[in-house]
Amino acid sequence: MTDAVEDLLQILDLEQIEVNIFRGHSPDVTWQRVFGGQVIGQALVAAYRTVEDRFCHSLHAYFIRPGDPKVPILYEVDRARDGRSFTTRRVVAIQHGKQIFNLAASFQVEEKGYEHQFDMPDVPGPDDVPSERELREKVISKLPKDVAAHFNRPRPVEIRPIDQPDYLRPEKRPPFQNIWFRARRDVGDDIATNQCVLGYASDMTLLDTCVRPHGVNWLSGKVQMASLDHAMWFHGRFRASEWLLYSQDSPSSSGARGLNRGSIFTEDGRLIASVAQEGLIRPTRPRTS
């Protein structure tokens, strides 16, 4: 089996082609657009390549155009500011001569200060919920061939939903979900690498939260879904290869958009990141056979 984690690390290992300019590639998949988490991770890598001895504490990004997986993505870094404690970078992703994505990230020297956090939700542990393989086996034979191939491909991140909805017959549910996830193997101790892998994973499942109350999903043919923006705040060190709980909620949807929030905890209850995202959830006509 292909080492999907190694593939991800290679995708995140951008090629430098000029000062402040980097080139990234996409995996060889049949999907029509670049996965948003890939662009988040690659843009953060590009920013990190221009920063020394500081760690990202926040990023804010906009998805502007769908990415084309068949051509490279150029990342241009603007070194906005280098201060004594904080460093700021802006990254623009370009394809076909047009901006498809931009990201602003702030980096800080490590400091001590006041600390508090929300408690982790009381949920079953990752060993007490079905594995991703078990969930796939229940539905794979019922999916269209193109969707099944995409659904069953090797993935660098393992996901274990605690309350898994029916993919084929989604019902209306409250706008909350909790999901365990982790990289399928160790990616090392480097903080930057772990943050970039987490940035990649943070775009998975989050947008699904805001369509749960409406009884639709990306397979139903009743909704057009796409990430519009993405924000992350990193609160502490972690290892992306260890189980993390992604506790998600959606406080509102309106105007064909849904707002989603996520808190990411280590298995022992330490809050290591917070996420927010607004996405397009435009109603469409159901598919016809």
Q: Which of 162, 207, 156 is nearest to 38 (CA)?
A: 156
Task: State how far the Cα of 80 lies from the Cα of 266, in Å rounded to an integer.
Answer: 33
User: Of 203, 208, 263, 274, which one is the catalytic site residue?
Assistant: 203
Rg (C-alpha) for the chain, rounded Å, is: 19
Residue 106 annotated to the active site: no
Residue 203 annotated to the active site: yes
- DSSP 8-state secondary structure symbol assigned to residue 235: -
Residue 164 CB contacts under 8 Å (≥ 6 apart), including other chains: 130, 135
User: Of 42, 195, 227, 263, which one is the catalytic site residue?
Assistant: 227
Tell me if 53 sits within 8 A of 87, measured CB to CB: no
User: Of 26, 38, 95, 277, which one is the catalytic site residue?
Assistant: 277
Task: State how far the Cα of 212 lies from the Cα of 63, in Å rounded to an integer.
Answer: 23
At position 25, the amino acid (one-letter code) is: H
Tell me if 210 sits within 8 A of 250, measured CB to CB: yes
Residue 202 annotated to the active site: no
Report, as residue numbers or ranges, the catalytic residues.
Answer: 203, 227, 277
